[in-house]
Amino acid sequence: MTAKSIIMSAVALATVGTTTLKAEGLVMPEELKGNPFATEWNTPHQTPPFSSIKVEHYVPAFDFAIAENRAEIEAIVNNPEAPTFENTIVAMAESGQMLARVSGVFFVLNGSCTSDEMQKIAMDVTPKLTELSNDISLNPELFARVKAVYDKRKKLKLDKEDMMLLEETYKSFSRSGALLEGEAKELYRKYSTELSQLTLEFGQNALAATNAFSLNITDEAKVAELPDFVKEGLAAEAAARGQEGWTVTLHAPSYVPFMTYSTQRDLKEQLYRAYNSRGVGGDADNMENIRKIANLRLKIANLLGYKCYADYVLEDRMAESRKTVNGFLDELCDATLDYAKKDVEAITAYARENGFEGDLQPWDFSYYNEKLKEAKYSINDEQIKPYLQLESAKEAVFMLANKLYGLTFTPAPEIEVYHPEAMVYEVKDESGKVLAVLYMDFFPRESKRQGAWMTEFRGTSIVDGVERRPLVSLVMNFTKPTATTPSLLTFDEFTTFLHEFGHGLHGILAKGKYESINGTSVKRDFVELPSQIMENWATEKEYLDLWAKHYVTGEAMPAELIEKLIAAKNYLAAYYNVRQLSFGMLDMAWHSITTPYEGDVMAFELAALKPTQVMPFVEGCAMGPAFTHIFSGGYATGYYGYKWAEVLAADAFSYFKEKGIFSKDVADKFRYEVLEKGGHEHPMTLYVNFRGHKPQTKALIDQMNLE
């Protein structure tokens, strides 16, 4: 997942660029003296001086940066010269340097290293940013200048990148209420302000609900069966909390292994219900927030002339329409649902053959799923993890980037990090040029939201002929090391590493003048292609043979184990496909409502998920109240994009398989047509330029090897 869009949406038009225009008459207030955001950063590559940035610096920096950006926009509006591409479109793209800098640091850290004070600031500053965004997009004089340039675009002889900036700038105004008049404009302002607050509150509630529950176990008999790596992790968690025994939390590296290896059904049911009822009632309730968010999005869409929010969003996506997306989801569901049901039947049958009685419940699934996988393929995470030590996996990911794109990654101890667990590297190309600074933050903590994502403190741009390279951050929640064992990744964690690193490459290799259309600033249903294609190398023997060695003995991963890993690649492929489709269908359901929804949120979800239901429903549980991707993370009407990009990735990787998984020719083409160009052209154009044809759903279905 990429979080750059979340930050950009919070700041909207105010920070699409990276250079400040001189705004006359603006005096820096006394309280900003000594504030690190108000001075140039005399640091390597102008990286954030984290040790100098205190919580109390953010609010005055935001306030001044917002005022400065307003002055910059006023200077554009009041320019006596006729509007041109340079004095209007480029001037806007090059405004907001300080605001971009403050926002870049604040929102990245609020996701990865938050606190009560940070969350309060987020709640306070978000309305200010939304107000600024609205004041810009709803400014009739500014829009008149933009429109004047846009209307004569065919006569301007712009290159593709300039033309895309112009078109995207005009579109961002028109899609943000610039064409509205009178009361409609004020309603848009009101609704968008309320929405920004609600989505922020939703995310904070989801994090609070995740942190609120833990299960402490003091009876050793209840953990005796667990693999050593699981017990060690739970013991370390308990010790960190000042508790005896073993503690399970709702964070994935703790929750997932316990659900996978434990036979304690009563404890697993308790954990399952806690995990799947996050945001349902209590102090962190999100049920009402879901209804409010969906209804506000509908109101905004209606104001802008769309029947529903999905129609509004999809008009500006690769898929282009609700009909296309629903047809895509239905096609994949129809092709795999019966196979998914067979997957569940096979696990149920296996459980009963091994003494299980009654109906298989969701909290039983992971255990018997793992056992059946081990029975079929003689493989489990305990066998694989010793060969996936985090440090080795990191070097292997770097090696892959070197083989494909000639990149090298050098530790940069002179560059500050925002947390002691974070690492930082200089990324260089084959000529030795520094392309980016890369931060990596691997382990879960209460101050970090769940999941894994890529974001940027600063993107790529060229201003006054000077290129500014990106500051990229990869944030994960992987298995922690213990007192006796280094961090050993599960296969899923290693795949996630490759996925997020793919997003990182999209940022690292970006080229272009304008940050707002560089790197991961592409159509949402295209942004997952660079990440998902990287996952394919996880099961390539030619790649694993180069580095996967036992962390104790140094022996290479046995060929037999690699063969089992490859054979198990498509285990439960249909089940997991349908599960992923269920997320996309719930997203589409909430954002396809055409009248405000005032009914029961749980009932709405049940109806939306019914076409994909292959496991029993559990009373009191719901996906939506913790579904941060769509209710606070910028993926509204976009979750289908993961499956959409899987089709692209399956088809694209077949090109590597045809020419060689380390083919420089294919890698160079992918780099030039996809990674470097960002959003400079329509994504279908870029994809066809790379692959030579349009992608087909069949590529993904064939890759699943259903039987």
Sign of torsion over alpha carbons 612, 618, 620, 626: negative
CB burial of residue 134 (10 Å; 0-12, 13-18, 19+): buried
Phi, psi at 183, each rounded to 5°: -60, -35
The tokens for 673 are 């047509």
Q: Which position has the token pair 């005399």? A: 42
The tokens for 596 are 């405000």
Q: Using the 8-state DSSP alphabet, how is residue 459 labeled?
A: -
Cα(638)–Cα(658) distance, rounded to whole angstroms?
A: 31
- One-letter amino acid at 693 equals H
- Strands 423-428 and 408-411, how do they pair? antiparallel
Q: Using the 8-state DSSP alphabet, how is residue 674 labeled?
A: I
- One-letter amino acid at 155 equals K
The rounded Cα 588 to chain-centroid distance in angstroms is 18
Cα(242)–Cα(245) distance, rounded to whole angstroms?
A: 10
Q: Which position has the token pair 């609120």? A: 212
3-state percent helix, strand, coil for the chain, nearest multiple of 5: 60, 5, 35
The phi-psi region of residue 702 (left if phi > 0; otherwise alpha if psi is between -120 and 50; otherwise beta) is alpha
Three-state secondary-structure class, residue 360? coil
Cβ 626 vs Cβ 255: under 8 Å: no
Q: Which of 455, 503, 531 is nearest to 48 (CA)?
A: 455
Per annotation, catalytic residue among 201, 500, 528, 676: 500
The tokens for 624 are 């939506």
Three-state secondary-structure class, residue 193? helix
Cβ 3 vs Cβ 455: under 8 Å: yes
- Strands 471-475 and 434-441, how do they pair? parallel
Three-state secondary-structure class, residue 181? coil
Spatial CB neighbours of 324, under 8 Å, sequence gap ≥ 6: 314
- One-letter amino acid at 220 equals E
Three-state secondary-structure class, residue 104? helix
The rounded Cα 128 to chain-centroid distance in angstroms is 24
Cα(656)–Cα(419) distance, rounded to whole angstroms?
A: 38
Cβ 223 vs Cβ 217: under 8 Å: yes
- Strands 471-475 and 453-458, how do they pair? antiparallel
List strand residue ranges (DSSP E) for 244-369, in order.
246-249
Alpha helices in 610-696 (DSSP H): 628-631, 640-659, 664-670, 683-691
The phi-psi region of residue 432 (left if phi > 0; otherwise alpha if psi is between -120 and 50; otherwise beta) is left
Cβ 502 vs Cβ 472: under 8 Å: no
Q: Is 515 a catalytic residue?
A: no
Output the CA–CA distances (angstroms, integers) from residue 562 to 32, 536, 548, in the order listed: 58, 14, 10
One-character DSSP codes across 15-84: GS-S-----TT----GGGTT-GGGS---SGGG---GGG--HHHHHHHHHHHHHHHHHHHHHHHT--SPP-
Q: Which position has the token pair 């939201």? A: 449
- One-letter amino acid at 521 equals S
Task: Show which residues are catalytic.
Answer: 500
